[in-house]
Every structure is written in C-alpha cells, then in structure tokens.
Structure 1
C-alpha cells in the first residue's frame, strides 16, 4: 500500500556497502524506520543522501506493509528547505545533539500530530533565528510536555524543585531537590515562547549546568534514557 506522509529524520546508519537505515518521526505513524537500498552509490531521484540529513523535514511516499520492521520509500522531496540549520556549525552541533536525544526518547509507532507540529515549528524557528543560545534548553523542557513529565508549576513560588516528582516544593528533601541558579532558570523558561528566549540571559557555564540538570530529569523519568554520546562534542563546540 502506497502512503504519503511528512517525516523528520532522527538518525541514519550505514547498512551493508551502499544502503542506509533511516529512522524518522512521521506525521501519520510516529517512529518509522526505512531501508534505503543503494542510496550511497546513486545520486538519482530519491537516492540523494542529502535529503536524509538529521532533522530534515521531508514529504515521502512509502510502500507500507503492516508488521514489517523496515519500510521502503518510493518517493521523497524536501518539505522545508533549511537556510542555515545544516551549514551553521553551531546550529549543526545543536542538530546532532537534539537528533540523538529524539532518537532515544521517541519510540511510539502511532500518530501524535501535536508532537510532530511541535518539532516542525521548533526546527523552523531555529533555522530562521540569529539568537538561539538557549534554544536547546527550551526545546528539551517543552519536549517533556509531550513525553508526560512537564514540571507542575502549581507551587512555582516555592524554593525548591524536585526532579523526581516534577513538582515545586517548600523544603529540600534530598539530592534531587534543586535550588539556586538552576531553579531560577527553570522558572524563567517555564511558560515562555521561543520568541522570548532572548530575554533569558545565560553564560556558557549556566547553560551547561542547566542542561546537565535537564538530562538528569530525563533519566529519572525515562528509565532507559542515557546521556547522549554527542554531549561532550556539543559542549565543546557550542560553549
């Protein structure tokens, strides 16, 4: 059965000599993996490797077969033509890092149009903007809405935030109770939109500390989540 859908590239790995396995987040069916035969030896039609850069937004036609782990793409074109996402070295380091996170945390093979729309809009914003130092922090924080553990801001004026419960609390309970700069940054980021990100002024040390806290938050709420391998390189390039 031929099916058309939009898709965002999450990862790609070489398979045999000339093939690729590409994992995408699709509008219609969530996470889907595709086998691209001969893509590394041909520059014709849908075999162009350039289409499958990380976080590329595509329109694809697939030959879908239920209960098959790898699907096949019969036609592909770009849905969004990025201007800077893959050419700006800082943005491309963000792309590599976030793609690895998304590839790890997105597992559902079912439609989630709200999540797809969030990813689509966020990456368009990053591609367009010139000031994006805090984008990855905001992106990961908002991603938790779609993963089911967005911070509960009911008691946002409290002096601590507990990473394990996801709630603001009045007393420090243990190691996972955060305060200080990371608490202040969390409160600043909660509820604002990407266009207001430039109002949050952080230095590289503060960004790294808050990112470490966010990744720990992910670990506590997603049992099989591990810190991305690209984190070290990301911190070196970005900061």
Structure 2
C-alpha cells in the first residue's frame, strides 16, 4: 500500500555502500523501518541523506507491506525546518539523547496521534526557545503519560515517591521509594509546562540526579529499556 505520512526520524544506519536503514515514528502507521536505496551516492535523487538527522520532521511516501519487515521509502521531503536543533551544540546533544530514548520506548506499528502531536509540538517549542537547560527532564516526564506510567499526583504533598507504583506516599514501602531532594523537583515539574519551564531553577548536580531518577523510573516500567549510550555525552556537555 502506498502511504503518504508525516514522520519523525529516530535513527539512520548506513547499509552497504549507498543505502540507509531509517527508523521513523510516523503519524499514520506508528514505528516504521525503511530501506532508502542509493541515498548516499546520488545527488540528484528525490531523497537527500541530510533529511535523516535525529528527530527531523519529514513528509514521506512509502510502500507499506505491514508485515514487520523493512518498508521501501520512495520519496521524502523536509516538513519542518529547524532553526537551532541541529546547529546549537547543547540542543543537538539533547536531540541525540532523546532520539535514543524514543528508539528504546516506541515499539508499536500503529498510529498514536496524541504521542505524535506531543513530539511535534515539544520539538517545535525546543527549536524556537533560546535556552532550556531542563527541557529533556520535562520532556521525559511528560512522555511517561503517553507510555502509560505518568506519576499519580493525587497525593502530591506526601514526602515519599514510590517508583514502582508511581505514587506519592507517607512512608517507604519498598527499596524503590525516594525521599531525597528529587521529590520536590518532581513535584515542581509535575506542575510545569514548557512555557513556564524557565521558572524551574536547577544546578548541574540536581539536574543530573533527577535525570538518573527518571531513567530508573523508565527501567522499572518498560521491559528491556536501556540507558542511552549518549547519556555520557549529555552529562559532559552540561558539566
């Protein structure tokens, strides 16, 4: 079936001398993996290799067999030109990190319009804003609502956060309960959106500590989730 859909690039891998294998989260079909033939050799083709940088938003035309195998991409064009995500070193490092997280978390070959809209809008916001050192933290926290384990805020004033149940509570009930300085940070971020993110003040130590809490939360709730290899680069660029 010939499909035209918007997509967000999650990864690209060289295959042979001139081909790419590209993984995209598409608006109409969810996660798809494409073979893009000859893109590294031909300069006059319909598809440019530069389209496949992490989290680039494209419009693509592809043959979908929907059998869990490689699909064939016929055409692709840039949909949303970024102004800073691939040129600002801090933002490009964050983009590389988040793309790796999304590769580890999005598995379904079916449309998920709320998730696609969240990615589209949040990336647009990050591209347009001047500086957002805590963007990746709020992004990862909000992403959990689309993955099914967003924290329960109903007892948000309690001093303990239970990573297993995703709840605030009065006392520790297991070894995955948190009582340190990450709890008030979590509480503050739960009441924040991207437009008010600048109100959240964190230093490098607290930023790193909260990121590790979030990754631990992901590991508990997503079977097979792996800490991104780009985590070390992200920590280095923020240090």
Secondary structure at the aligned position of 2:164 is classed as coil
Deviations 1:84-116 (A, max 9, x none): 000000000001100000001100110100000
TM-score when normalising by structure 1: 0.97
Instruction: Give the match for residue 113 of structure 1.
Output: 113
Distance 1:110 1:68 in 2: 11
Instruction: Give the match for residue 202 of structure 1.
Output: 202
Q: CA deviation at 1:157?
A: 0.5
The range that moved more, 20-29 or 178-187, is 178-187
Instruction: Give the match for residue 11 of structure 1.
Output: 11
Spell out the pairing of 1:150-229 with structure 2 (5 A cutoff). 150-229=150-229
Distance 1:47 1:111 in 2: 24
Aligned length in residues: 239
Distance 2:131 2:94 in 1: 13
The gaps in structure 1 that reach 5 residues or longer are: none
Instruction: Give the match for residue 67 of structure 2.
Output: 67
Deviations 1:148-167 (A, max 9, x none): 00000110010100101100
Q: CA deviation at 1:68?
A: 5.2
Deviations 1:42-86 (A, max 9, x none): 222333111111000001111222315111111111110000000
Instruction: Give the match for residue 35 of structure 1.
Output: 35
Confirm or deny: 8 A CA contact 1:19 1:38 kept in the other structure. Answer: yes
The gaps in structure 2 that reach 5 residues or longer are: none
TM-score when normalising by structure 2: 0.97
Matched, 1:83 2:86: no
The range that moved more, 170-179 or 32-41, is 170-179
Q: CA deviation at 1:21?
A: 0.4
Confirm or deny: 8 A CA contact 2:159 2:179 kept in the other structure. Answer: yes
Confirm or deny: 8 A CA contact 1:93 1:238 kept in the other structure. Answer: no
